[in-house]
Structure 1
Amino acid sequence: MFVSLFCTLKRVSGEVKKWRPAGADRGFTFLKYNLTIAYHRTNLLAHYSRWSANPNGGELESLGYKEGFRVDVDVPETTWAEAMPFHDILIFNTGHWWWAPSKFDPVRSPMLFFERGQPMVPPLPPHVGLDLVLKYMIQYVEKETKQSSIKFFRTQSPRHFEGGDWDHGGSCPRLSPLSTEQVDELFAINKNGTNVETRLVNQHLHKALKGSEFHILDVTHLSEFRADAHPSSAGGKKHDDCMHWCLPGVTDTWNDIFATLLGEIESSRPSS
């Protein structure tokens, strides 16, 4: 979405300064309009790091844990934590990594959640940890951003792996969009298929965002049809890329929706 937005804006103004504002992974200022866009990479929103058992023991050690990933549910990732006062419009998202056994193996390298610096015992399953992280991060953002800021949370970007996950021979060979029936087959929660996290995460997002200051940028369902819009075997990887999107393509539509929502929000605000 960020790359699509940059390409769109660059067609309007080519006078661009490249830099990394407020700790961003990448950023650009369009000098003619004094407009800055920035991308802050974060996998879980919350801070996480490798955890190893203490030789002197502890609560997790007593339960047999030897290693894993420590996830501090109430501590935002440093890549974006200090950026809140800088931005006027913010778009958040998280999801894929929460249902990623290749990243957080539930046996070999589980997520181990900490709150106020202490391990949460008994250990929580990832979906409960996600709920806590969303609660704390929403509170943090609403506290640290400008009162006039506009906050969005983008729903899940669907993957389209068929025949297995990315590391188990999954592919996305489709050459045309899916039918409604095919979408339901691929993403229905009761099917518990490879791509089930798309709708599972959205359930958690909608629940957490209810009553918050966030606007929901819903891109999921329209994107579920576009199994034909991924790089697939042309992505230059050892496996099919059925998660990222080709450009131009689906993410351009996301930005069209974003621009429309932003215009509606701005027009509904009282004039200063």
Structure 2
Amino acid sequence: MHVKDVRFIGDSLNRNMFVSLFCMLRQVSSDVKKWHPAKADRGFTFLQYNLTIAYHRTYLLARYGRWSPNTKGGALESLGYNDGYRVDIDVPDSKWAEAPSFHDVVIINTGHWWWAPSKFDPVKSPMLFFEKGMPILPPVSPDVGLDMVLKQMISYVESKMRPGAIRIFRTQSPRHFEGGDWDHGGSCPRSKPLLSQEVEELFNVENNGTNVETRLVNHHLYKTLKGSSFFVLNITHMSEYRADAHPSKAGGKRHDDCMHWCLPGLTDTWNDLFAAYLNFVKDHS
């Protein structure tokens, strides 16, 4: 197949991959139009090849927003909830909802925001899940909510994309905070890749460390994607070694950035894997 349109849908790590792909393609062609197609945050068309790539920012894939109690009371209010975030598990975020309907390739991710207590505090501002406009009772934890959202969004994309379109779900990008999380003095001072033993110390779920969400998210992804039409682009384990590849203190941030990746860098390799998969599909279609 001739790919004319590639959409990245997800959080800032998918933006990281999108920017990497743009830079790689820019080396081939400088005849580029910048625009904002179909509610995308940003998009570029390489005119010589009639190829468009775009990025749609979404944190949870599903629609979410601040929830406040009804003064007349309700099911959640009766359980003592007085603040939180409403997550509609069966409604895609409007920023990307139209994208699957008319594109050749979608690359989707989610994960980092599901384990983000600084945003979704489990006590002060918990995730409150809704289905068909009604709260799910009893309320469920974020990991259960993630399974629900993944199931609904995978089904949604499969129902919207045309036959022959390529559906890709990228696995979790690992963080490398050591000594604490990003807002508690965590840093990533490494100057060379980790050894295998160091990788296990940092990411083994049983250790319940700062970066534990990496493999936890993947567990949910693989469980839900099993039997779907999605190809899983597994970038996790190879990336776990690269504690040396983050911006860290570069860019003047107030805290170390041990989550995103330097460019050029590791995300270029992710795109090499993506290109290899496209070639595989082409050779076997």
- SS of 2:95's equivalent in the other structure is helix
SS at match of 1:79: coil
Deviations 1:167-189 (A, max 9, x none): 01000000000000000000000
Runs of 4+ in 1 over 4 A off after TM superposition: none
| 1:86-116 CA-partner distances (Å, limit 9, x unpaired) | 2101100000000010010000000000000
Give the one of 41, 50, 55 matched to 1:34: 50
Percent pairwise identity: 70
* Within-5 A mapping of 1:74-85: 74-85=90-101
Name the residue aligned to 2:213. 197
Report what 2:244 is aligned to. 228
Q: Secondary structure at the match of 1:85?
A: helix
Query: Does the CA contact (< 8 Å) of 1:22 and 1:86 recur in 2?
Result: no
The question of whether the paired residues in 2 share the 8 Å contact of 1:158 and 1:220 is answered with yes
Moved more, 242-251 or 79-88: 79-88
Aligned partners of 1:256 and 1:35: how far apart in 2?
A: 17
Q: Which residue of 2 aligns with 1:149?
A: 165
Distance in 2 of aligned mates of 1:80 and 1:149: 16
* CA deviation after TM superposition for structure 1 residue 237, in Å: 1.1
- The one-letter amino acid paired with 1:196 is V
Q: Which residue of 2 aligns with 1:176?
A: 192
1:216 maps to which of 227, 232, 241: 232
The separation in 1 between residues aligned to 2:97 and 2:84, in whole angstroms, is 24
SS in 2 for 1:234: coil
Asked whether 1:137 is paired with 2:139, we answer no
Whole-Å separation in 1 of the counterparts to 2:245 and 2:202: 15
SS of residue paired to 1:81 = coil
Task: Say what the alpha-carbon RMSD is for the aligned residues.
Answer: 0.6
Q: CA deviation at 1:236?
A: 2.1
Q: Mean Cα displacement is larger for which, 79-88 or 151-160?
A: 79-88
Matches of 1:20 and 1:178, distance apart in 2: 39
Instruction: Report the Cα distance in structure 2 between the residues aligned to 1:73 and 1:46, rounded to whole angstroms.
Output: 6
Q: Where does residue 126 of structure 1 map in the other structure?
A: 142
In structure 2, C-alpha distance between the alignment counterparts of 1:48 and 1:13, rounded to whole Å: 38
Deviation at 1:266, TM superposition (A): 1.8
Whole-angstrom CA distance in 2 between matches of 1:265 and 1:203: 26
Q: Whose RCO is larger (CA < 8 A, sep 6+)?
A: 2
Structure 1 counterpart of 2:61? 45
Residue 152 of structure 1, CA deviation: 0.3
Report SS of the residue matched to 1:6: helix
**Cα deviations by residue, 1:30-70 (Å, 9 ceiling, x for unpaired):** 00110000000000000000000111000000000001000
How far apart in 2 are the matches of 1:28 and 1:239? 31
Paired residue for 1:106, among 122, 125, 132?
A: 122
Q: TM-score, normalised by structure 2?
A: 0.94
Aligned to 2:274: 258
- The alpha-carbon deviation at position 148 of structure 1 amounts to 1.7
Partner in structure 1 of residue 24 of structure 2: 8
Letter in 2 for 1:86: F
TM-score of the two chains, using structure 1 as the length reference: 0.98
